Amino acid sequence: MDCKGRHALSCMSGGDSVVVHNAVRDLLHDYCQRAQVRPQLEAPGILPGRRRPADILVRGAAGLFPRLPDGSRPHGLAPLALDVAVVNALGESHWDETRRHSGAAASGYAARKRVHNHTAAVCDQAGAVYLPLVWEAQGGCAKETRAFLHRLLGLAAVVEDCSPDTVRARLHDQLAILLARAGGRAVRRRRIGPPGGAVAKHAVGELLLEV
């Protein structure tokens, strides 16, 4: 493993990437429930066949749509297909984007998810709006992710009759802890050397000898 632990944050072996993806997805689903936008996990039937573009399908999506390029906001009740992803901004495939500016890796990955297998276009034809929500393992996120969260958490604050700043701070704290723990867990599993228990036992033995 490299000395900075960068490989561990990109490695697809061992299920670490699946665990952190599901944890972020479930946390976001919880806040969608709090905002009362009728979220559904891993919703089937959006597209023909086995394709499931939505980690979370939001049916009560009025007011949550991202703005269009001309600055206007689309109208209607089309559901939002939220596709959650976590990328390593320092990984080999994202390093050039990260060097340009903060959040570029997440934004670039979101753009690629839209065109991969024509997912955004196919969802649009099926009457749904495809919205990738991408975070970086280091804590950043894409601009459209921040915009969506701003609207979602503001709605949750209205429903719960509390300050939007309080709801936002709580979610950001939860996300920061979740991503930090996931990164630490991935690095720890790939450490070269004796298991943690053996290291601790050796350290205690050394302390006893000193006494």
Q: Strand pairing of 80-87 and 56-58?
A: antiparallel
Model confidence, pTM? 0.77
pLDDT at site 65:
58
Q: Tell me which residue of 58, 26, 68 sits closest to 171, measured CA to CA.
A: 26
Number of C-beta neighbours around residue 104 at 10 A: 18
Chunked in runs of 10, what are the mean pLDDT values of the chain (211 residues)?
A: 59 71 94 92 85 88 57 64 88 70 84 93 90 89 90 91 94 91 77 56 51 43
pLDDT at site 24:
94
Q: How far apart are CA 25 and CA 8, in angstroms?
A: 21
Q: Helices (H), strands (E): how many in the chain?
A: 8, 4
Q: Tell me which residue of 108, 136, 120 sits closest to 47, measured CA to CA.
A: 120
pLDDT at site 211:
43
8 A C-beta contact, residue 55 and residue 82: yes
What is the distance, to the nearest Å, from the Cα of residue 211 to the centroid of all Cα atoms in its chain? 49
pLDDT at site 198:
55
Whole-Å CA distances, 126 to 58, 81, 112: 15, 11, 20
pLDDT at site 5:
60
Q: Give the phi and the psi of residue 42 in degrees, each rounded to 5.
A: 45, 50
Q: How far apart are CA 85 and CA 72, in angstroms?
A: 27
19-21-27 Cα angle (round to 5): 100
